[in-house]
Amino acid sequence: MKISDLLSPADVMIDVRAANKRLLLQELAAKAAAGLGLPVEAIASCLLKREELGSTGIGRGVAIPHARLPDLQRPFGLLAKLKQPVEFDAIDGQPVDIVFALLLPAAVENEALAALALVARSLRSPENLARLRAAKTTSELLAAVAGR
């Protein structure tokens, strides 16, 4: 599995503005719903319920909000670079400015874990994070997360 299996160029956003975590997740849900043809509220609800279990802010300004959706056939990702960081209750207490939302089929366990691990690995290296933050276009952002 590669990042390109999860993320298309149309699903990369730059300079996203959100006042807080809830509004950010709702905006990501709306973008995902448009791309997947699923109800916005179903996606937003699943993402928000997952956050209630514990923040998906993994530290260093990065969050990987994720949810399982029964109507989804394959993993689907959205990458957003925020204009201004938002408080995300991250593990290190730092606000978040890089968000990779991952929507996963409810039925397929191994593929879901592999997708999460892949995204986490691609957002772990300080060099890669610097490239993501320096990206000025969606294509630069996509290349940075894909390790190109």
Length reported for the chain = 148
What is the identity of the amino acid at 133? R
Query: How far, in Å, CA of 21 to CA of 1, rounded?
Result: 29
Is 96 one of the catalytic residues?
no
Q: Long-range contacts of range 56-60, CB-CB < 8 Å, 24 or more positions apart? A: 56/88, 57/88, 57/89, 57/90, 57/91, 57/92, 57/94, 57/96, 58/90, 58/91, 58/120, 58/123, 59/90, 59/91, 59/92, 59/94, 60/92, 60/94, 60/126, 60/129
Of 26, 66, 81, 144, the active-site residue reads 66
Residue 139 three-state SS:
helix
Question: Do residues 83 and 98 make contact, with C-beta atoms less than 8 angstroms apart?
Answer: no
User: What is the set of active-site residues?
Assistant: 66
